[in-house]
Every structure is written in C-alpha cells, then in structure tokens.
Amino acid sequence: MQFASNELKCDKVIVLAAVKQYGRALQFACKERRDDKEIVLVAVTQNDMALEYASDELKCDRDIVLAAVAQDGYVLEYAFD
C-alpha cells in the first residue's frame, strides 16, 4: 500500500484486501478509506494498532474501539473520548 498510486489507496477493494493481510496498512489508505467503518473494523481486528490510523470519528466508535481493545487494552491510548 505504501507505494501504491493514490487511486489504489482509495480503492475500497484494494484497501480491504490489504488490511485483511496487514491491519496497519490502513496508514497508507486515503482519508476516505480511513473513515470507512467496514475497512477500519477489519484492520483493527487484524492488528489492534491499526486504530492509530483510523479517522478521528472512528476512533470514537464503540464497535471499532471494542474490537481493538479485545486484542490489547493498551490501544486505548489511540481512542478518543
């Protein structure tokens, strides 16, 4: 994802496939995809630390935060209250 074109970084299918393999690939996705609940949920389920790269809105989303914290409570530092 890091070296993908901007078009690919915004392609939902591509980003979803990337975060399924490596959740932290979310950091390279376009803003729109970092604000996509489905993609972020897959990313944090694969790697709890992906929460760091979620949009501010989704860092406050209960489902997203619970999925990340279920793996490691320390990721709460990336969640907003």
Domain boundaries, the chain: 6-78
Would you state the pLDDT for residue 74? Answer: 85
For 36, phi and psi rounded to 5 degrees?
-95, 115
Mean pLDDT, residues 54-63 taken together: 95
- Please tell me which residue, 72 or 39, carries the higher pLDDT value: 39
Residue 40, SS3? Answer: helix
pLDDT, one tens digit per residue, over 12-56 is: 999 999 999 999 999 999 999 999 999 999 999 999 999 999 999
Would you state the pLDDT for residue 71? Answer: 86
End-to-end Cα separation, the chain, in angstroms? 30
Would you state the pLDDT for residue 81? Answer: 56
Q: What is the pTM of this model?
A: 0.92
Would you state the pLDDT for residue 72? Answer: 85
d(CA 51, CA 7): 23
